[in-house]
Structure 1
């Protein structure tokens, strides 16, 4: 089968081949996005989310200055649906993140690791009316 036959066969299934050059440090996040949009995944179990995040603890600390992560929301309650996001509360080392771009880069990195959207927040940015409930619900990842 030549290249154009292969293209026609895949296009009938709504697929297209795409090659993208990205900075090396973004490759993992891009792969995660591709996995997420390329397949329908069952909602992840809470333990799966915790395992993934714990496996990457050192890398998150070294690259982004993450001191702790906590899970809240539907993933914390183990009530995720296929299109649910994952709510995470993050605490950083002093002086981190160095700016909004580093915060957003962490968010995208986590989305790549988890294969789904992440709602990332810090304790000091929680809305006052939600703060107590969210902090009480948080499950420490590490």
Structure 2
């Protein structure tokens, strides 16, 4: 699945994803670079609404929801959780879905 299709699916499901207090989603990693293999996961960067209190269970449910929507394993991260050494590279290649 290419990045355009992934972004289209994410945008189509924006209302469903809003239940998890999602402010924005971006795709990064091998899918964006065109290096994804058939079994590759999809790397997604999520930003939550500023006033949302998102715990581990909501985060895990969001990840599971994304996996069901996309039909692939999803590696979900927040900008704050990105390793300092990789943060600028990831943010630079990320493609904004919404």
Is residue 52–residue 113 contact of structure 1 (8 Å, CA) maintained in 2?
Answer: yes
User: Match for residue 58 of structure 1?
Assistant: 15
Gaps of 5+ in 2: none
CA RMSD between the two structures: 1.0
Gaps of 5+ in 1: 1-43
**Which runs of 4 or more aligned residues in structure 1 lie more than 6 Å from their structure 2 counterparts after TM superposition?**
none
Q: Count residues in correspondence.
A: 98
Larger Rg: 1
TM-score by length of 2: 0.94
- CA deviation string 1:23-78 (max 9, x = no partner): xxxxxxxxxxxxxxxxxxxxx111111110010012211x1010100110011122
What is the CA–CA distance in structure 2 between the aligned matches of 1:49 and 1:102, rounded to whole Å? 22
TM-score by length of 1: 0.66
Among residues 56, 59, 76, which one is paired with 1:120 in the alignment?
Answer: 76
